[in-house]
């Protein structure tokens, strides 16, 4: 009887502790990267005012990009993002016209210039150093 109870407890421990997959994991755990790894990366230490300016700029850029898309493309973008696809994958699947691609490039470039203008000269230097130090291979979503 004791060996049966011990075996049962051992089976439960293995089943719940080691053998079964965790169902609490997000559908795409790598979508936002490994948060503990991200915390170890060097930071620019933006001030609260800079953070607020960056948020406003992101929202403005998002609205400008939305304005370039057709209603069907906007709908496709929203539903794909809600299903967990990465923004980059979704944008590639929208079949943008050459004119739309050119407009998006211009919007992104202007946004980049504005982001750089928000940073202090020291933060810009630090950002350039961070870019030089990052791995040569791009991050790949292992799906």
Q: Which two tokens stand for residue 22?
A: 């965790």
The span from the CA of 129 to the CA of 43, in Å, is: 11
Instruction: Give the pLDDT score at 21.
Output: 41
pTM value surpassing 0.85: no
The pair of structure tokens assigned to 99 is: 């004119």
**What number of CA atoms fall less than 13 Å from residue 68's CA on the CB side?**
23
Q: What is the pLDDT along the chain (143 residues), one digit of tens a residue?
A: 555 444 444 444 444 444 444 444 444 444 445 545 555 556 888 999 999 999 999 999 999 999 999 999 999 888 888 888 888 888 888 889 999 999 999 999 999 999 999 999 999 999 999 888 877 666 555 55
């Amino acid at each position: 009887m004791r060996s049966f109870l011990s075996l049962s407890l051992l089976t439960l421990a293995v089943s719940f502790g080691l053998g079964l997959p965790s169902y609490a994991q997000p559908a795409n755990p790598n979508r936002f990267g490994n948060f503990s790894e991200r915390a170890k990366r060097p930071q620019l230490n933006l001030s609260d005012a800079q953070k607020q300016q960056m948020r406003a700029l992101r929202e403005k850029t998002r609205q400008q990009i939305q304005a370039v898309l057709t209603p069907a493309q906007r709908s496709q973008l929203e539903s794909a993002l809600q299903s967990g696809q990465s923004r980059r994958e979704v944008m590639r699947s929208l079949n943008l016209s050459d004119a739309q691609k050119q407009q998006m490039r211009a919007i992104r470039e202007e946004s980049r210039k504005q982001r750089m203008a928000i940073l202090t000269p020291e933060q810009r230097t630090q950002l350039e150093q961070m870019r030089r130090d990052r791995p040569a291979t791009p991050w790949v979503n292992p799906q």
